[in-house]
Structure 1
Amino acid sequence: MVGYRALAVPEAVHLGLPSATVTFIVCLDEGVRAAPDARSLATARPAPVLLGGLHLSASHVRQQPGQAGVQLALHPLAVRSLFGVPCADLGVEDYDGLALTGPRGRELHERLTATSTWQDGFALIADHLRDRYRDRRPRPELARAWRLLEESGGRARVEDIARQVGLTPRHLGTLFHREVGRPPKTVARLMRFDHARRRIAAGIRRNGHADLAGAAAAAGYTDQAHLSREFGRFAGLPPAAWAAREFRNVQDAAPAPGGAWGHEHTRHHHRGPAAARMGDPAGA
């Protein structure tokens, strides 16, 4: 769970890259304007609550001064317990979360805008998720297979994982399709891509430049060219071009926890009991 506020960012289009987690955003403003491509973004309406499935191409997000909200990375296997439908049923082009959250989602947005500290905002959303939660766990073979794939960083062979959980690769693929809308090999690619993206971003924030070869090796790609091809598929541009575009104005502040809203480019991370519960639908 991450709180963000950007007071003086340039108006631009941000690329929301694919990952193996579900993005859930509750805004502190009128909402996020997002679309699957630049052309659709021109007519996108603001979504005060944003929720989207596992998309395979970069979403286009309108960046503008004053944007603020709380963003969560939800485990795809917990979506059914939180929203009553599997992750496979979430849209990958329509990001309006009110379709699933309904009046309670709108009330959550209104109540969040009335809070004054990150802690209060985090607690409000955590309580909302606890209240929504119904114990609808996925099949244990699927939960274990996801965990094994995640622990390997997306490098494990699907055939080996299927054997470890006592299923055929075809049966495991059916379970993945039914619950998350993607085959296990695609989920593995998303995990590796997200690992590389995070390493690149961390390197830029720490050293001011991207170590693409190191990120490729750490994520298990055969070489930097392999990483570039995956970036082309998922982001629509090479990693160096993405880094130059997304980190034009890197300003990360870190005020003390508990501060009021209003910090520029601030991120507060929260991982409490509710987050841990959502993060492991298998109950481990």
Structure 2
Amino acid sequence: MAGFRQLGPVQGDIAMVAHPSITLLVDLSEGSGIVRDSDGGRAHGSSVAGLAPGELRLGGRYAGAVECLQIRLPPPLAVAVLGATADLDGAVVPLEDVWGRDAERTEDRLRAAATWDERFAIAADALGRRLDARRSPDPEVVAAWELILAGRGRVGVDSLADEVGWSRKRLWSRFRSQLGLAPKHAARLVRFDHAARLLAAGHPAARVAASTGYADQPHLHREVRAFTGMTPTALAAAPWLAIDDVAWPAPPADPPGRDGRGRRPARPRQPRP
């Protein structure tokens, strides 16, 4: 979780960077609040962004205090909490569409809380009460997802199928239907996320490409374009990556140098006010 407050007028938009999680953006602002623009459609209020969403920008032009709570849910957990992950691949929908009638009441409780710590506690309690183990993905699907994360996306579908004891076809079908994207696409997304964080830490694109398993720098460039529409240079400065550094203050270590040793991790950057 991460909380954000903007006290002055806001101008311009911030593009969301694809992330291997389901993202809840809970708008706690007074008045019109946050404007989201997804695939050409503009709307106000809280939203849920699926895995690797299409064009999603937050911002607009408005005055007054703007507050937002960001919650990241790993896909297996999102299934158990929201029950609709498979329908969210590449989609951005209003929070109430997946949260139900309780969404507005939860927003009101969060808005009335005096501190961010109280808000985090309220959100954690609300998520916990929605947790339903009966909606959880198959253990094999969860295991495959964990293997993809552990390998930072550098794992083949055949290897995943062997590890969980399923055929390739069965793994593809169950994984896709339960988590919302195919195993190969999930691996691409996880590898992209690792590369994005290294780029944000200031490492050259060529070195990042080599250390994260891309064939060459143009291959990395194509993947960054596919997931974000940006160049690696623009991605490295994307404000959303700074937001995630604050939400999870443990940036990846430097890629190994020629001597095989990694350097001390860079300090997290602070988000723009």
TM-score (normalised: structure 1): 0.77
**What is the DSSP-based 3-state SS (H/G/I as helix, E as strand, rest coil) of the residue aligned with 1:95?**
strand
The one-letter code matched in structure 2 to 1:24 is L
Distance in 1 between residues matched to 2:7 and 2:81, nearest whole Å = 32
RMSD across aligned positions (CA): 2.8
With over 3 angstroms needed to count, the CA separation of the structure-2 counterparts of 1:2 and 1:202, relative to structure 1, is farther
Distance in 1 between residues matched to 2:142 and 2:244, nearest whole Å = 35
Structure 1 counterpart of 2:133: 135
Whether the aligned pair in 1 keeps the contact of 2:37 and 2:43 (CA below 8 Å) is no
Question: Counterparts in 2 of 1:162-201, with a 5 A limit?
Answer: 162-201=161-200
Distance in 2 between residues matched to 1:251 and 1:144, nearest whole Å = 28
Structure 1 counterpart of 2:58: 61
Q: How far 1:195 sits from its partner (Å)?
A: 1.2
Q: Confirm or deny that 1:98 pairs with 2:96.
A: yes
Structure 2 counterpart of 1:270: none
Distance in 2 between residues matched to 1:196 and 1:9, nearest whole Å = 33
Q: Residues 148-180 of structure 1: CA distance to partner in whole angstroms, max 9, x if unpaired?
A: 111000001110110111111111000111112
Structure 1 counterpart of 2:212: 219
Structure 1 counterpart of 2:230: 237
Q: Residues 212-247 of structure 1: CA distance to partner in whole angstroms, max 9, x if unpaired?
A: 233323322222221111011111121113345x35
Distance in 2 between residues matched to 1:239 and 1:56, nearest whole Å = 18
Higher relative contact order (CA 8 A, sep 6+): 1
Structure 2 counterpart of 1:75: 74
Q: Residues 115-139 of structure 1: CA distance to partner in whole angstroms, max 9, x if unpaired?
A: 1211101001001111111112211
Structure 1, unaligned runs of 5 or more: 204-209, 255-263, 268-284
Distance in 1 between residues matched to 2:231 and 2:43, nearest whole Å = 29
Distance in 2 between residues matched to 1:2 and 1:61, nearest whole Å = 16
TM-score (normalised: structure 2): 0.79
Distance in 2 between residues matched to 1:120 and 1:251, nearest whole Å = 20
Whether the aligned pair in 1 keeps the contact of 2:23 and 2:50 (CA below 8 Å) is yes
Distance in 2 between residues matched to 1:18 and 1:96, nearest whole Å = 18
With over 3 angstroms needed to count, the CA separation of the structure-2 counterparts of 1:46 and 1:55, relative to structure 1, is same
Structure 1 counterpart of 2:154: 155
Q: Which residue of 28, 49, 54 corresponds with 1:52?
A: 49
Structure 1 counterpart of 2:261: none
Of 151-160 and 88-97, more deviation after overlay is shown by 88-97
The one-letter code matched in structure 2 to 1:126 is A
Q: How far 1:114 sits from its partner (Å)?
A: 0.8
Whether the aligned pair in 2 keeps the contact of 1:35 and 1:93 (CA below 8 Å) is no
Distance in 2 between residues matched to 1:169 and 1:94, nearest whole Å = 30
Distance in 1 between residues matched to 2:187 and 2:47, nearest whole Å = 24
The one-letter code matched in structure 1 to 2:6 is A
Structure 2, unaligned runs of 5 or more: 247-269
Whether the aligned pair in 2 keeps the contact of 1:252 and 1:266 (CA below 8 Å) is no
Whether the aligned pair in 2 keeps the contact of 1:5 and 1:265 (CA below 8 Å) is no
Whether the aligned pair in 1 keeps the contact of 2:199 and 2:235 (CA below 8 Å) is no
Q: How far 1:253 sits from its partner (Å)?
A: 12
Q: How far 1:58 sits from its partner (Å)?
A: 3.6
Count of residue pairs brought into register by the alignment:
244
Distance in 2 between residues matched to 1:142 and 1:150, nearest whole Å = 13
Distance in 2 between residues matched to 1:118 and 1:187, nearest whole Å = 32
Question: Counterparts in 2 of 1:246-261, with a 5 A limit?
Answer: 246=238
Distance in 1 between residues matched to 2:89 and 2:36, nearest whole Å = 12
The one-letter code matched in structure 2 to 1:113 is R
Distance in 2 between residues matched to 1:147 and 1:56, nearest whole Å = 21
